[in-house]
A and B are shown apart, each in its own frame.
Chain A
Amino acid sequence: MATPFTLSVALRQLAYNRGQTLLTIGVVATSVTLIIFISSLINGLQVRIVNNVTDSIAHVRIMPEERQPQALWERESAEGDPLAVGRVAKLEQRQRKIEGWQPWLERIRSLVRDDLLTLVPSTEGSAVISRETKRIPARLLGVVPEDYNRIVDIQSNLVSGRFFALNGGEAAIGLRLSRDLGVSLGDRVRLLSAEGNVSNVTVAGIFDTGFGSVDGGAVFVPVRDAQSLLGIGNAITGFGLKVTDVFEAERVAGELRQQLPFRIESWMQDNERTLSGLRAQSGSSQMIVAFTTLSAGLAIAALMVMAVTNKYREIGILKAMGASSRQILRIFTLQGLILSLIGALLGTLASLGLLAWLGSLKTISATTGKASDLFPIALTLGNFLIGNGLALATGFFASLYPAWRASRVDPIKVIRGQ
């Protein structure tokens, strides 16, 4: 659409009206910076919040179906019904377990396939961990440390001792729990399961993951030890799995529900409030982007209307020379495009610089002394495309009105200075 004539006039005018050109580019650049920066920051915050939730838990948990108490009159009577009036149905709350679980492991693996990041059997129950007079309720987790580490990274967060190659009779506990109990590496603690089984174990590893529920209330022991504490023989209490995209967890859970006779929960169900908060945040981020785009568009339009008004006489003489309205329209829409192109480029560079700088800022945790990023930044290609795409579209559309005004200039009215 650009002919040498329209392009040369567009470029020369931009170069000639340097102040106005720089101002317009500044508006575009600032908006692009703002859009990329805000979305990266909010993205980053969301990623951090979601990670805080999802890094310490399985994304989807598979557990035995909870047996629902059922009143007799709700049961359809069938012949040979073993239930008779006066007999109480026993609900074995404690013994929720999955026997012969290895085939299920393969079944789940084949069902989840591409979405699967990691799948581990879990042996969990409640226990009280005690040392002398201190007794603290805790979650007992029987794990193969090398496998479970893919659900929660304990190994690299060890403060002392070990997690991998945990032996029978050994346990790994969180730093907080160890402080609450007043134990250190090598000390012996007593575990009393809800089933009433007792075991004395040695603290072989102390870790600090930063996740409160893990550090303050989880006791990791080898699978066998947990099985005997929980009294479930070779059975397990469920499966935990991580999926590649945490936000797909509910979909994966839904698919598994159709195929498996188990109770299946996703982290998204358990954290509905967090998620609705995140959605509200995404909404506000989109509003910021929308209003930024709108105000940039209005600013570009206003600046260009001014430029066009200053150029009425030149536009008039060009038309007297035989320039068509379409050529005049092109000159100014080209200017809009050129200004937004340069603005978008500068804005992208500025946002990259800003994000690099903010990303380099560290904060030192008051409790652990660990350095971590002050601002979580999640820069995605999408943010870039959206920021730049919006800038170009805005520049073009904002220039349409001024360009239309320019194309409508009547040479008669402007040339005689009327």
Chain B
Amino acid sequence: MSTSAPPSPLLVLDAVGKVYTGEIETRALADVSFAVSPGEFLAIVGSSGSGKTTLLNLLGLLDTPSEGRLVLDGQDASRLEPDEAARVRRERLGFIFQFHYLLPEFSALENALMPCRVAGNDRAEREEPRMRALLDRVGLGDKLAKRPHQLSGGEQQRVAIVRALANDPLLVLADEPTGNLDSRNADEVFALLQALTREAGKAVIMVTHDHELAERADRIITLKDGRVASDVRSPGPKAD
């Protein structure tokens, strides 16, 4: 269903579907196919119940599709064992959620480094200068040692954005990244997300119900009843 086929896609979804089995069978996704190129900023929109969250869970390897294939960086990641999925998340993916979910026991810098700490301590030491620079870049250079509760909502979400880039992922998944912020902060945080990922050349898939925000992405996929209703390139600043 993709409008264009880049030479080497970062992520390919091929007829992906998801059915929740339980007391009643619920189909959440059906025949979803698209490809994402490196560096692409993709927004997925849709009303609630359209399957956005399900799709994001599949993309984040937090859940497995019932049908179809999901190929990440040339590797079939459709049905990985939990530990293998965790490894791929650790090495290839970055997450930003609606709520920052910073660990309250750790400072801003430590939180930003957490994915590296999960992966092993050497990595955390190696990445620390880069994380300091990134935090400085988002205006938190003087708040590295602050705990999350000492930061404002916008500041917390900026730490979360930097954290999503800690392990140098191929793909950043953002779930309503500004949904919990007022419009001024939302604007700033989104701009930072876009700028940082663009500078680092990372692909981003953002799920949102905010059409205004989605308009600022390179491409918008609209889901309806678990199917791709439209897939359009937005006339945004970075349109090809």
Inside 8 A of A9's CB, which chain B residues have their CB?
103, 105
* A317 to chain B: closest residue by CB: B101
Separation of A105 and B98 alpha carbons in the complex (Å): 92
Q: Please report B residues at the A interface, Cβ cutoff 8 Å.
A: 53, 57, 60, 62-63, 82-83, 86-91, 93, 95, 97-99, 101, 103-106, 114-115, 117-121, 124, 167, 175
A4 touches B86 (CB 8 A): no
Separation of A3 and B175 alpha carbons in the complex (Å): 30
Inside 8 A of A314's CB, which chain B residues have their CB?
101, 103-104
A322 touches B118 (CB 8 A): yes
Separation of A336 and B98 alpha carbons in the complex (Å): 32
- Residue with the greatest number of chain B CB neighbours at <10 A, chosen from A8, A319, A320, A410: A320
Inside 8 A of B98's CB, which chain A residues have their CB?
416
A327 touches B105 (CB 8 A): no
B86 touches A324 (CB 8 A): yes
Q: 1/0 contact trace for A7-32 toward B, CB 8 Å?
A: 01100110110000000000000000
A5 beta carbon closer than 8 Å to chain B? yes
Inside 8 A of B124's CB, which chain A residues have their CB?
4
Inside 8 A of A324's CB, which chain B residues have their CB?
82-83, 86-87
Q: What are 20 sample pairs from A and B whose C-beta atoms fall under 8 A apart?
A: A4-B124, A5-B117, A8-B117, A9-B103, A12-B103, A15-B105, A16-B105, A317-B95, A318-B114, A318-B118, A321-B95, A321-B114, A321-B115, A322-B86, A322-B89, A322-B115, A324-B87, A325-B86, A412-B63, A415-B175
B83 touches A325 (CB 8 A): yes
Distance of B182 from chain A, by nearest CB (Å):
20
Separation of A327 and B104 alpha carbons in the complex (Å): 19
Per DSSP, chain A at the interface is helix
* A314 to chain B: closest residue by CB: B103
Separation of A418 and B184 alpha carbons in the complex (Å): 28
Separation of A3 and B101 alpha carbons in the complex (Å): 22
Inside 8 A of B53's CB, which chain A residues have their CB?
416
**A12 in contact with B105 given A320-B95, A322-B91 (CB within 8 Å):** yes
Separation of A5 and B105 alpha carbons in the complex (Å): 13
The 5 closest A-B pairs by CB, nearest first: A322-B90, A12-B105, A322-B89, A16-B105, A317-B101
Inside 8 A of B57's CB, which chain A residues have their CB?
412
* A415 to chain B: closest residue by CB: B97
B121 touches A5 (CB 8 A): yes
A169 beta carbon closer than 8 Å to chain B? no
Question: B62's contact among A15, A320, A323, by CB below 8 Å, is which?
Answer: A320
Inside 8 A of A318's CB, which chain B residues have their CB?
103, 114, 118
- Residue with the greatest number of chain A CB neighbours at <10 A, chosen from B89, B106, B117, B121: B117
- Residue with the greatest number of chain A CB neighbours at <10 A, chosen from B82, B103, B119: B103
Distance of B48 from chain A, by nearest CB (Å):
11
* A16 to chain B: closest residue by CB: B105
Separation of A316 and B100 alpha carbons in the complex (Å): 12
Separation of A320 and B86 alpha carbons in the complex (Å): 7
A320 touches B60 (CB 8 A): yes
B62 touches A411 (CB 8 A): yes
Inside 8 A of A15's CB, which chain B residues have their CB?
105
CB contact list, A375-418 vs B, under 8 A: 410-412, 415-417
Inside 8 A of A16's CB, which chain B residues have their CB?
104-105
Distance of A279 from chain B, by nearest CB (Å):
51
A313 beta carbon closer than 8 Å to chain B? yes
Question: A4's contact among B87, B95, B115, B121, by CB below 8 Å, is which?
Answer: B121
Inside 8 A of B115's CB, which chain A residues have their CB?
321-322
